[in-house]
Structure 1
Amino acid sequence: MATSLGSNTYNRQNWEDADFPILCQTCLGENPYIRMTKEKYGKECKICARPFTVFRWCPGTRMRFKKTEVCQTCSKMKNVCQTCLLDLEYGLPIQVRDTGLAIKDDIPRSDVNKEYFTQNMERELANSDGTRPGGQVGKATSSSDMLLKLARTTPYYKRNRPHICSFWVKGECRRGEECPYRHEKPTDPDDPLADQNIKDRYYGINDPVADKLLKRASTMPRLDPPDDKSITTLYIGGLGETVTDGDLKGYFYQFGEIRTITIVQRQQCAFIQFATRQAAEMAAEKSFNKLIVNGQRLTVKWGRSQAARGKEGEGLTEMGTRLDPVPGLPGALPPPPPLDEEAPANYFNLDPSTSPAVMNLTLPPPPGLNPPPPGKLTTNIYSHSNTSPCMKR
Structure 2
Amino acid sequence: MADDNANPDFPIICESCLGGNPYMRMTTQEMGQACKICTRPYTTYRWLPGVGQRYRRTEICTSCAKIKNTCQCCMLDLEYGLSTRVRDAMLGGASDLPTGDANRRWALRAAEEQMSKTGKGIVDYGKMDSVAKDTLKALARSSGEPYTSQAKRKANPICSFWLKGKCTRGRDCPHRHEMPKNKEKLAEFLAKSGHAAPQPRSSSGTQILDRHLREAEQSNAQSVTILVTKIPDDATTEPILRAHFEQYGVVKSIVIAVVKKSAFVNYEEHEMAKAAMAGGDEQELQSGEGVIKLAWGKSRLPTKPASSSKPGAAGQRSGYAAMDSSLLK
**TM-score normalized by structure 1?**
0.40
**TM-score normalized by structure 2?**
0.47
Which has more helix, going by share of residues?
2
Larger gyration radius, structure 1 or structure 2: 2
